[in-house]
Amino acid sequence: MDRRLQIGEAVAAALGTTVLTTRRLAGGCVADVLLLELEGGRRVVCKPLAPEHARIEAAMLRALTARSALPVPAVLHESHGLLILEHIEHDGRMGESGERHAAELLASLHGLAGPAFGFDHDTLIGPLHQPCPPTASWREFFAEHRLRTFGALAHRRGAIGDPCWDRLRRLADQIGALLDEPEHPSLIHGDLWGGNVLAHRGRIAAFIDPAVHHAHPEVELAYTTLFSTFGPAFYERYHQIRPIRPGFFEQRRDIYNLYPLLVHAILFGGSYGEQVDDILQHGTP
């Protein structure tokens, strides 16, 4: 039987309805994402995943819904690797008004304090396991569970070479002198590239595919600069609500972006490992 037909039948059984059409959505770079039209005109999004990945993604979305006002798709069903989500209408039209709206939503999210850095359970970033053990120190958490953990994985997979891995470990050893401790562990989305931000008519409709945990909010801001998720209007509005401390753009941003660059080097190879090494050689003190 055709895989899409199988998925359609599984969705129909889970939701108690009839699936009329099934088509693949663009943007699913690590997993298939399907749009299904149901009887009566309703549409849902289906992500066939490994069972544990479906469970964790559902848990992250539910946590954001329960703990914050961040707009995310509702989880309609999750079992045996079948994740069914609310379909969010979006047209890609963000503009400066949408950027300011995003800043307000994320500043509010970052104002939510957690008991420790990390999370209630380990989460995911894309398809990768993301360790989130509760940790009292942000510097310790970032050095150990982001730089060393993902640097070791990138090195084992050949995404970075021996000299780069040595430089990364030395940086992790010095992290206490380079980063500060925030006022509290902030809840973050964790994977804010442009494809995970849905805009509609100049407003943010939803944030999708989270990599949730409690962190320094600067790590989230840094990631938004890596692939130009937002423009100046976002940072201006965010700064009005939650002032960005001096030195972020000049120094700390590059250190924080080592993490998503390591993730991309592990997943996609290419020049991402070279970008990690370039920051380590030229972009840090």
**CB-neighbour burial class of residue 60 (10 A; exposed 0-12, middle 13-18, buried 19+):** buried
Mean pLDDT of 39-62: 96
Q: Is the model's pLDDT at 1 over the cut of 70?
A: no
Q: Which domains does the chain have, with CATH numbers?
A: 3-86 (3.30.200.20), 95-283 (3.90.1200.10)
Is 191 annotated as catalytic? Answer: yes
Q: For the segment 117-154, what is each residue's pLDDT rounded down to a tens digit?
A: 999 999 999 999 999 999 999 999 999 999 999 999 99
- Assign 4 a pLDDT band (cuts: 50, 70, 90): confident
d(CA 141, CA 133): 8
For residue 283, the model assigns a pLDDT of 72
- Assign 67 a pLDDT band (cuts: 50, 70, 90): very high
Q: Is the model's pLDDT at 25 over the cut of 80?
A: yes
Q: What is the mean pLDDT of the chain?
A: 95
**CB-neighbour burial class of residue 19 (10 A; exposed 0-12, middle 13-18, buried 19+):** buried
Mean pLDDT of 254-269: 98
112 HSE (CA, 13 A, CB side): 18
Query: Which one of 120, 166, 191, 278 is the catalytic residue?
Result: 191
- Least Cα distance to 158 among 267, 30, 254, 283 occurs for 267
pTM for the structure as a whole: 0.95
> Which percentage of the chain shows pLDDT scores above 90?
92
For residue 3, the model assigns a pLDDT of 79
Q: For the segment 187-210, what is each residue's pLDDT rounded down to a tens digit?
A: 999 999 999 999 999 999 999 999
